Structure 1
Amino acid sequence: MTLTVSSFLELRSTVKALTLISAAALSSHVASAQSQAPTESHAQQEISHELETYASFDETTPPGNIAIGPDGRKFLSVHGFYGQPVKIVELFNDGSVKPYPSEAWASNPDENQIGFYDVLGLNVDQNGVLWMLDTSGDDHAGRLVGWNTRSETLEKIIYIAMPLINAGSFLNDLAIDNKHGKIYLADTASNNRAAIVVVDIKTGQARRVLEGSEYTQAEDVDMIIEGRVITLGGQPARLGVNPITIDVDSNWLYFGAMSGSAIYRVKTDDLVDLSLDMDALEDKIQRYGDKSLSDGITIDGGGNVYVTSVTQGAVEVTDSTGNSRTLYKDQRIVWPDGFAYGPDDYIYFTVNELHRSAVLNGGENASKGEFKVMRFPALVKGKTGR
């Protein structure tokens, strides 16, 4: 028997219910990060070819994904598996963090729906709008919340509701298509219902594609980390489409199952073609290359697809010939999660030891506080990450 995402959703609710954070802990959120921060001059250092720890965090800020704007501003989702009250923070160059866009928005929703339930995926478009993917639940739809980081105002909210999603949906990550004005969402969902959701930014119209496709479902392979099979709901984890990214010209969408060994790609022109049914769209998909079981991917200007290998504790890269190799393997890389490509031509990624969270560790939080953002220089420049 394999994991269903509905089991995950129940476990996530349990973790949140059991996790109590005091007001004192919340008020010290920024100070805690500052005490562990790199120096102010960190961002002005010359590019090193070594893997660097850019910022470290305490237990109040286990990072999920990272997004970087055209101006270099950095934003983190706070991973919901650890049940923290703050959902989104801005990361400053000195390593400190602050709830973003405000303390109210970064917290659980109030009666006016100001706030977030649980955000993982986030990204910044070419206009400086930070798009944050608030996942759905039993009593609420999913949402794409766009916040203008230049004017510091709410840009737009797009609701992602049934039948575009289902009871087992887990809206996980996103990629922004600047050419077509679309956002592509990875809905990990119950494995046989994993899909990609195509959202029009201007109209808010959306459609669900590739649901239950061999390209979006998990492979039947165990996730083994630190000598044990990772389970969810007491069963071996099998997670469908999650890692997703897009090239700089918005010509190709790259994606794959988290529990999968392949990177696929499809032309965005085909994804937005309403005349293509599922069979016809599947015929357009190409296998780009190999990968490990992974949480995140991104791509540079040379067609190198970077992979956060959760099972190997490594960053891997798959080049345009389809060959995969390990770029960095380091004891600091304890469940690497999401990527972002910065305007400084560094690639940043989060580390959150997720396999030690209660959700993936039989209900016991065994994390050791190895929460950080790391970075390394891109092999080939020319990707903005949006």
Structure 2
Amino acid sequence: MKKFIFVLLFIACVAQEKILEEVANSKRQWTGIAVSQSGRTFVNYPRWGARTPISVGELQKNGRVIPFPNKNWNGWTLDLSPRNRFVCVQSVYIDNQNFLWVLDPANPKFSGVIKGGPKLLKIDLSSNEILKIYTFNESIVLKNSYLNDVRVDTINQFAYMTDSGDGAIVVLDLKTGISRRLLDNHASTNAEDVVLEIEGKKWLRGGKAPQVHSDGIALSPNNEYLYYQALTAKSLYRIRTQVLRDQNIAQETIHKNVQVLGKTGAADGLIFDPHGNLYISSLENNAILRLTPGLRVQYLVQHESISWPDSFSISNGQLYFTTAQIHLGSSPTNPYRIFKIPISPELRNKNQIISFIYHWFSLLDNNADLKNFLPLLSQTSLYMQFPDVNLYSVFDFQKWHSLVASQIKKATHNIESVKVEIDRDGNYVVQVKLEWQGTTKDNEEMKFKAEQNFVIVETGEQYPRITRCIVKELKSTTMNNKVKEKISLLKKPTFGGFVTIADAKIIENMAMGNQLDFFWIEAEHTEMSVKDVQNLVRVAENEKTVPIVRIPTNDISHIKKYIGTGAKGIIIPSIKNADDAKKAVDATKYPPIGKRPVGAERGNRYLGKFREYFAEANNVVLTILMIETPEAVENLEQIAQVPGVDLWHVGPFDLSVSMGVVIDSPELKAAIQKIETTARKYNIPLGSYAANLETALQKQKHGYYFFTIPGDMQLLQQGVHNYFKVD
């Protein structure tokens, strides 16, 4: 497998006509850059010289840089405590939930770490509030350490940092604040015996080649791999993050899991885009390289003005980077610059992607050799979920392929339908429904229906690359929930109709729009009985949508009746604290997560299929909490830590009434902002009413994935009003 990687690692020149646009320039040396989803731009200036008036700043449209988050944080001197001030900031980074992270190695002028100074800050850009300060003791950050760059896994809640002063990777558990120093003095984190030649001159200090250890760092889009490289080195490495997170794995085992991908040249910055392309700053070539998901190295852009490309940031299809001109010392001839360049790929049409899918399944049916699959799989970021099997890389796929080839004599995939969409990041999202038939080597016949969800990225190669494949067996119990799958697996928004009229024709007609994923059956504020709800649940199922019920009270005696109708989600109102959240989970989840009682329900088809229902219900039935009281806003941190909750639904109208404020008040906006911030912190999807699609897409940027459209009565009223409306 390693040989395969080396064979494909070659240079190909592409896209030299791309537009390289200067965003800003400065007389002072900056290293890091971070651009938010809304376009806010942050830079940092390391304290390498005699005077550093700003450590972290926000770049204004007029080119000025103002201290961020305030002047006090940027006002450190030797006589002041380093705990609440920036000492020597090396990098800034914005994660996929729009939090700003500031890494302060606290080693000014490389003269030694200031005791109590090394820290990592998490800042909420919606309020500019510092949410958390993580510190590091002397066993993690050594005397000559220099924490260089950081990447944050918001799903597993871990941060990874390189130490370029004393080569290592620092792994920080964001939930506990406990950090570990790994791969200390390992070949992959140490500098190599090389002399860099930049702009025609050897890079020397005092006549010697500098030794700068682990520097550039990047997380694959699925967070499964950490890529890193020493600055004075030519080799790129990666390691599975699961190995780094496991506190029980021995150092020797961690070392064995390091993979060398090959030679990419001296690099400072690394970053992945959502498509699985890895961007590499090429110091010796005044260039930016791109390592595709197929492990082809391409020149994205090369120009003399790209003088020591340092740090990267990606926002809205643009790659931003700084030029630090480190090789020129304190007297560069040109200003320090920020450039941006478009990186969105040119997409194929949907028919070409459908042909690609048929090609994929033909290889499976023909027991094709492994080499035929590899050009279709992402080498930089891959996750595949088969029944009872998870694959995290092409290495895992190779083992799985060998196992299947040894067990299956013949297989046939009869494709029933292929649906192709393109998401906001420009990835192909493909849904395939099919029937699989197979014969084992022991002549056992096997057969099942399945749905497969693919995420496929464009690479500019002969084939696009699969980065994600989720296989879901379609069982007779109908135990699946496309709302949960779209939110948790595909990170896509879902939309539902709001039903207050207990008549089957309401759901049938709204479903004819072919746009709705679920129906919110409103049993709290209507006269609906449990029997009415059960009838509407049946209709929603017949229309291939997900029935979700809002119940009147957080009481297990009520909940067990409504959940027994076959609902795939229960919305619980008036949550105030963690005890309320735990009561909701207990009523909606079977043991060991909750205390849901067993009964002869329609949901489990009156116990006739209870064993199958019990095995899957906790993963299928959504537990949704209404966050609509001031007490809930006050107790969000505690509520967020209750296991078993699938989603929070924000009720702005109820929340405004319970707070005693109007709907557009600053107090309500602040409360909702707090809900959004806490949900992002604990990776809890949010739900909301959305008056139109534009509103929903805006809310999606803040973590909302579950939307109700205007309700049945509102749509009827609007229909009558629109009839008499004259343009």
Range of TM-score over shorter length? 0.7 to 0.9
Match of 2:128 among 110, 130, 152: 152
Answering whether residue 286 of structure 2 is matched by residue 313 of structure 1, we say: yes
The structure having more radius of gyration, on CA atoms, is 2
Q: Secondary structure at the match of 1:239?
A: coil
Q: Which amino acid aligns with 1:63?
A: W
* Superposition deviation, residue 53 in structure 1: 1.0
Query: How many angstroms apart in 2 are the aligned matches of 1:150 and 1:123?
Result: 15
Answering whether residue 164 of structure 2 is matched by residue 188 of structure 1, we say: yes
> Unaligned stretches of 5+ in structure 1?
1-47, 358-364
- Residue 264 of structure 2 is matched in structure 1 by 291
- Residue 118 of structure 1 is matched in structure 2 by 88
Query: How many angstroms apart in 1 are the aligned matches of 2:113 and 2:23?
Result: 37
Classify 1:229/1:221 alpha carbon distance in 2 versus 1 (closer, same or farther; 3 Å).
Answer: same
What are the superposed Cα offsets for residues 121-142 of structure 1, whole Å, 9 maximum, x if unpaired? 2212344332111113443231
Query: How many angstroms apart in 1 are the aligned matches of 2:323 and 2:189?
Result: 24
Query: How many angstroms apart in 1 are the aligned matches of 2:282 and 2:335?
Result: 16
| Bigger proportion of residues as helix | 2
* Superposition deviation, residue 246 in structure 1: 0.9
Aligned counterparts, 1:188-337, within 5 A: 188-190=164-166, 194-232=167-205, 234-337=207-310
Q: Which amino acid aligns with 1:101?
A: P
Answering whether residue 148 of structure 2 is matched by residue 175 of structure 1, we say: no
Q: TM-score, normalised by structure 1?
A: 0.78
Q: Which amino acid aligns with 1:284?
A: N
Aligned counterparts, 1:133-148, within 5 A: 133-136=103-106, 137-141=112-116, 142-148=118-124
Q: Secondary structure at the match of 1:235?
A: coil
Classify 1:308/1:138 alpha carbon distance in 2 versus 1 (closer, same or farther; 3 Å).
Answer: closer
Q: Secondary structure at the match of 1:204?
A: coil
- Residue 96 of structure 1 is matched in structure 2 by 64
Aligned 8 A contact 1:252 1:268 in 2: yes
* Superposition deviation, residue 274 in structure 1: 1.6
Aligned 8 A contact 2:344 2:426 in 1: no
- Residue 87 of structure 1 is matched in structure 2 by 55
Aligned 8 A contact 1:116 1:134 in 2: yes
- Residue 373 of structure 1 is matched in structure 2 by 338
Classify 1:323/1:150 alpha carbon distance in 2 versus 1 (closer, same or farther; 3 Å).
Answer: same
Aligned 8 A contact 2:279 2:291 in 1: yes
Aligned 8 A contact 1:303 1:319 in 2: yes
* Superposition deviation, residue 233 in structure 1: 5.2
- Residue 321 of structure 2 is matched in structure 1 by 349
Q: TM-score, normalised by structure 2?
A: 0.43
- Residue 44 of structure 2 is matched in structure 1 by 77
Aligned 8 A contact 2:266 2:283 in 1: yes
Query: How many angstroms apart in 2 are the aligned matches of 1:123 and 1:285?
Result: 25
* Superposition deviation, residue 352 in structure 1: 2.0
* Superposition deviation, residue 114 in structure 1: 3.2
Classify 1:355/1:272 alpha carbon distance in 2 versus 1 (closer, same or farther; 3 Å).
Answer: same
- Residue 73 of structure 2 is matched in structure 1 by 105
Query: How many angstroms apart in 2 are the aligned matches of 1:218 and 1:163?
Result: 21
* Superposition deviation, residue 96 in structure 1: 2.9
- Residue 44 of structure 1 is matched in structure 2 by none
Aligned 8 A contact 1:306 1:315 in 2: yes
- Residue 54 of structure 1 is matched in structure 2 by 23
Query: How many angstroms apart in 2 are the aligned matches of 1:133 and 1:233?
Result: 29
Q: Secondary structure at the match of 2:48?
A: helix
Q: Which amino acid aligns with 1:331?
A: E
Aligned 8 A contact 2:317 2:344 in 1: no
What are the superposed Cα offsets for residues 167-225 of structure 1, whole Å, 9 maximum, x if unpaired? 111111111111210110101123xxx10000111221000111111111111110112
Query: How many angstroms apart in 2 are the aligned matches of 1:197 and 1:154?
Result: 22
- Residue 31 of structure 1 is matched in structure 2 by none
Larger CA deviation: 197-206 vs 245-254: 245-254
Classify 1:138/1:233 alpha carbon distance in 2 versus 1 (closer, same or farther; 3 Å).
Answer: farther
Q: Which amino acid aligns with 2:332?
A: S
Classify 1:328/1:112 alpha carbon distance in 2 versus 1 (closer, same or farther; 3 Å).
Answer: closer
What are the superposed Cα offsets for residues 270-309 of structure 1, whole Å, 9 maximum, x if unpaired? 2101222222112222233431211101112332211111
Query: How many angstroms apart in 2 are the aligned matches of 1:251 and 1:70?
Result: 23
> Unaligned stretches of 5+ in structure 2?
1-16, 107-111, 346-424, 428-700, 702-727
Query: How many angstroms apart in 1 are the aligned matches of 2:279 and 2:41?
Result: 19
Q: Secondary structure at the match of 1:63?
A: coil
Q: Which amino acid aligns with 1:220?
A: D
Query: How many angstroms apart in 2 are the aligned matches of 1:235 and 1:325?
Result: 31
Q: Secondary structure at the match of 2:254?
A: helix
Query: How many angstroms apart in 2 are the aligned matches of 1:195 and 1:312?
Result: 27
Q: Secondary structure at the match of 1:254?
A: strand
Query: How many angstroms apart in 2 are the aligned matches of 1:127 and 1:302?
Result: 18
What are the superposed Cα offsets for residues 24-70 of structure 1, whole Å, 9 maximum, x if unpaired? xxxxxxxxxxxxxxxxxxxxxxxx9411111122x2x3221111223
* Superposition deviation, residue 242 in structure 1: 0.3
Give the CA RMSD over aligned residues: 2.2
Query: How many angstroms apart in 2 are the aligned matches of 1:143 and 1:297?
Result: 21
* Superposition deviation, residue 253 in structure 1: 1.1
Q: Secondary structure at the match of 1:81?
A: coil
Aligned 8 A contact 1:289 1:321 in 2: no
- How many positions carry a matched residue from both structures? 324
What are the superposed Cα offsets for residues 342-365 of structure 1, whole Å, 9 maximum, x if unpaired? 1x11010001211112xxxxxxx2
Aligned 8 A contact 1:300 1:379 in 2: no
Q: Secondary structure at the match of 2:333?
A: coil
Query: How many angstroms apart in 2 are the aligned matches of 1:200 and 1:235?
Result: 38
| Bigger proportion of residues as strand | 1
Aligned 8 A contact 1:223 1:237 in 2: no
Q: Secondary structure at the match of 2:285?
A: coil
* Superposition deviation, residue 379 in structure 1: 4.7
Aligned 8 A contact 2:76 2:82 in 1: no
Aligned 8 A contact 1:289 1:322 in 2: no
- Residue 26 of structure 1 is matched in structure 2 by none
* Superposition deviation, residue 255 in structure 1: 0.7
Q: Which amino acid aligns with 2:283?
A: V
Aligned 8 A contact 1:300 1:382 in 2: no
- Residue 129 of structure 1 is matched in structure 2 by 99
Bigger relative CO (Cα 8 Å, ≥ 6 apart): 1
Aligned 8 A contact 1:290 1:323 in 2: no
